[in-house]
Amino acid sequence: MTALLKEKSAAAQIEIRPVSGRIGAELGNIRLGGDLDAETFQTIRQALLKHRVIFFRNQQHLDDAEQERFAQLFGNLVAHPTEQVRSGSTAILELDTGTGYGRADQWHTDVTFVDAYPQISILRAVQVPVYGGDTVWANTVAAYEGLPPELKQLADRLWAVHSNKYDYAAQRPHATEVEKQHYENTFASTVYETEHPIVRIHPETGEKSLVLGYFIQKLVGQNHIDSARLFDVLQDHVTKLENTVRWRWQEGDVAIWDNRATQHYAINDYGDQRRIMRRSTIDGDVPVSIDGKRSHTRRKVTPLRQQAAE
């Protein structure tokens, strides 16, 4: 196998195999855990920055506690702002279709409806369907770099409002009543609205990436019709097949992605089969635009009925 297709760390003997041209690599010859030595962890971190999303097979030894110990090597864990974390855990979110939740079948970057959204997400496959249920990631740095110069100049100046409150019925017309109730009572129980630049500077690599996805409600200063058209033009560049990688899950797999440089989509093609995943997220930084302005929260609203209950 040529050097272009296979890299090897002399320090940790980790095999790094790219799985597509612009995003994604599988790391082999490693057992994940909270006791990794500094050199091994640094190899993983650099692979993540380079490949945007990295994959590990055969990590069945991980349980919730050890997943959290491993995740803490990347930084401070942060719980989902609206969802309940798994019982006995400090920050693990369970995505279980058996409970009517977990089908994230829209292109998104995790939790962009808050200002300092997570920098890194770590997802562990506990139970996977016999068929279907793949996840696709897109490289938002490559998407920006591929824009025509005139479109880059436009994107550089645009900001957008992100929110967890959206037209759920329109985006998920086939959702079950349980899923609809979960959205209303849990995911949208507190409404967040945050303004982010369409183009942010990556705090570690200095690269420019597009901040889009389906938490966007509208572009700042644009009406909803023009916002939708401009969003579609830019989002289509993100999801070009050349910018994506698709992963076929096996039980015990772990995927880690740079949430500042990617979007992802969980393909909802497995019917009523059960799919259980556990996700940890690492606290992020507030995005900075090309001209040095920082994202900011416009509002955070808890419904009066919930305030009364509290």
Which residues have a catalytic role annotated?
108, 110, 264, 279
Q: For helices 149-157 and 224-238, give the axis angle rounded to 10 degrees.
A: 130
d(CA 159, CA 290): 11
Q: What tokens does 132 get? A: 């279907």
Residue 172 φ/ψ region, left for φ over 0, alpha for ψ in the -120 to 50 degree band, beta for the rest: beta
Q: What tokens does 287 get? A: 């995005």
For residue 32, the cross-strand partners are none
Could you tell me which residues come within 8 angstroms of residue 16 by beta carbon, excluding any fewer than 6 positions away? 6, 7, 8, 9, 25, 26, 27, 47, 51
Angle at alpha carbon of residue 8, lines to 7 and 9, rounded to 5° = 130
Q: How far apart are the first and last CA of the chain?
A: 60
Cβ distance 182 to 100 under 8 Å? yes
